Structure 1
Amino acid sequence: MIKKMFLAVLAAGVFATSCSDDDDTTATSRLNLSLDGLENLGDNFVYEGWIIVDGDPVSTGVFTVNDNGELSETSFPILKETLDAATNFVLTIEPAVDPDPAPADTKLLIGSFSGESASVSSAGIVADFATSSGTYILATPTDSDDTNESSGVWFLDNSSGSPVAGLELPALSAGWQYEGWVVFDGVPVTTGTFLDPAMADDNAATSPFKGSVNNGPGYPGEDYVMGSAAGITFPTDLKGRTIVISVEPNPDNSPAPFTLKPLAHVVPEDAANHTAISMGTGPVTVLTGTVTR
């Protein structure tokens, strides 16, 4: 009789424990990140992960990345019930001191959960650069000096006899902008930021490097005919220099190019002025990773 009562009590205890585990809404699980190609954002910005649950974003925590691309945190405790219900993962760039609890516009990676993992990519949220292409010319249309034409770069195509936009680039999602660069002895100097490749860039009228005759054609580009940068006095010769188009967070975290660089090209040493030159694929066109739960 005593034995039967003991077994009954034991069974009841097991049943109670089982029910308690099933109903425990405080149990936690872990979200693990394996992300490639992220860069150091400096002191003023951080990365923040988000899971989408019932259509709403839930923060999974913030982290930084050092100069070697190593994440300060790769595993984050999340309520199991919440994590199990997540349909997507999103990575954003946020101010280090952030008064806004909602995700910023600068969404860098996104992916949908399939079972316990999600493959995330920048192509699905920033833009897909698979079909991007670029053309530029060497010219200095902002001054009246025709002896320094190789000191300016303009992203246009004049091969048909009339200039048209030289950059075939997808529209970017909110929170991002394009920026052109010329790399002088390892130091990038901006040509200006822009959203529309068929319009002048944002510094067309205010560039400290351009000439004083006009603002140049209505396309992104730059004349390096005045002042100096990267230890080089302008005008100079862009032949042998690297031309780059990058994708930048807006607001920007750094005066240097961001890691996404869909187009790049080294100007040939024998490049002719005022002649269309084709760009090639840049060093980083997409960022990817895996998120597991």
Structure 2
Amino acid sequence: MIKKMFLAVMVVSALVSCTTGNIGNPSSNLTLRLSGLEPLGDDFVYEGWLIVNGAPVSTGVFSSVDFPQTFSVKPSTLHRATKFVLSIEPANDVDPAPSMTKILVGDFTGNVASVSSNGVVGDFSNASGKYILATPTNGGDTDELSGIWYLDLSSGTPEVGLDLPVLDGGWKYEGWVVIDGVPVSTGTFSDIADFDDNAMTSPFKGDMGDGPAFPGEDFLQNAPSGLSFPLDLRGYATVISVEPYPDNSPAPFTLKPLLHIIPENADDHVTIPMEDGPLADLTGTVVR
């Protein structure tokens, strides 16, 4: 009888031990199926977050943009999550909270969250733009086709040329001209009715001031390797992208709400409308 009781106690203890071990280290799968993401600069990574009772819980970081990708998460966390968030973080980040640069967000409905950049980065469905070719920073009427300024001159007076939503602190706009396959920045900006961030320090502009108080650039000197300034911008593409901030990538980020091929017959100081860009909204699904 004593032997039977001892064996019964041992069995119960083993079951309790196994159960306790499973509770202590439970895991389950969270699968990301995202489209449109591009690799980040070397100093940054993507990081997923589950929102549980209003608080963020990291699901892990990644650099590869090949999907699907699966992450192991405690079931108790996974099943109580109401929202998924994807952010961009420094590669050696010591802050346990998400950065301001959030790129995808979506609420769970059952076991699936449909995530989108629309609403967290911005709604670009009504984005529009205009620009002119001119080189105001050389103080004369030479090389006028070697500068681009995102403004509207149709009234005869410079006015705002871009219609874009205000971005959160983790993002900035950036203008580009793609010259023989090489993207060259016109500068980053947050205000469509003010100078861009490098207006006073641009290496490309002329020596006669900073130009008008709008985003833009004169490509007159100090050309990047392989290019020659000044140059005729006609026939090249101009792009407005939405960039993570901070950002160390030399290329435009994946979100490009506006684009235009500068017409071969364009005249300087004539307002030219832009068209929709190749990608204004990132989407995907997250499955638990």
Q: TM-score, normalised on structure 1?
A: 0.89
* Aligned residues with identical type, % of pairs: 58
Residue 184 of structure 1 contacts residue 230 of structure 1 at CA under 8 Å; is this kept in 2? no
Shift of residue 118, structure 1, vs aligned partner:
0.3
Q: 2:3 — aligned with what?
A: none
**Worse overlay, 282-291 or 224-233:** 224-233
Q: Hey, what's the Cα distance between the residues in 2 that align with 1:165 and 1:115? A: 45
Q: 1:30 — aligned with what?
A: 29
- Say which of 72, 93, 102 aligns to 1:107: 102
Residue 52 of structure 1 contacts residue 86 of structure 1 at CA under 8 Å; is this kept in 2? yes
Q: 2:279 — aligned with what?
A: 284
Q: Hey, what's the Cα distance between the residues in 2 that align with 1:142 and 1:229? A: 19
Output one character per residue of 1:127-172: Cα deviation in whole Å (capped at 9) or x when no partner.
Answer: 1110000000000111123121100000000112221110000011
Q: TM-score, normalised on structure 2?
A: 0.90
Q: Hey, what's the Cα distance between the residues in 1 that align with 2:151 and 2:268? A: 13
Q: Hey, what's the Cα distance between the residues in 2 that align with 1:79 and 1:143? A: 62
Q: 1:56 — aligned with what?
A: 55
Q: 2:232 — aligned with what?
A: 237
Q: 2:5 — aligned with what?
A: none
Q: 1:119 — aligned with what?
A: 114
1:76 equivalent to 2:75? Answer no
- Structure 2 unaligned segments of length 5 or more: list them: 1-7
- Structure 1 unaligned segments of length 5 or more: list them: 1-8
Q: Hey, what's the Cα distance between the residues in 1 that align with 2:133 and 2:70? A: 49
Q: 1:194 — aligned with what?
A: 189
Shift of residue 229, structure 1, vs aligned partner:
2.1
Q: Hey, what's the Cα distance between the residues in 1 that align with 2:142 and 2:155? A: 24
Shift of residue 39, structure 1, vs aligned partner:
0.9
Shift of residue 105, structure 1, vs aligned partner:
1.1
Question: Match for 1:46: what amino acid?
Answer: V
Q: 1:6 — aligned with what?
A: none
- The 3-state SS of whatever aligns with 2:137 is coil
Q: 1:3 — aligned with what?
A: none
Q: 1:47 — aligned with what?
A: 46
1:216 equivalent to 2:211? Answer yes
- The 3-state SS of whatever aligns with 2:78 is helix
Q: 1:137 — aligned with what?
A: 132
Residue 41 of structure 2 contacts residue 247 of structure 2 at CA under 8 Å; is this kept in 1? no
Aligned residue pairs, count: 273
Q: 1:4 — aligned with what?
A: none
Residue 136 of structure 1 contacts residue 166 of structure 1 at CA under 8 Å; is this kept in 2? yes
**Worse overlay, 266-275 or 228-237:** 228-237
1:159 equivalent to 2:158? Answer no
Residue 225 of structure 1 contacts residue 234 of structure 1 at CA under 8 Å; is this kept in 2? yes
Q: Hey, what's the Cα distance between the residues in 2 that align with 1:36 and 1:153? A: 32
Q: 1:5 — aligned with what?
A: none
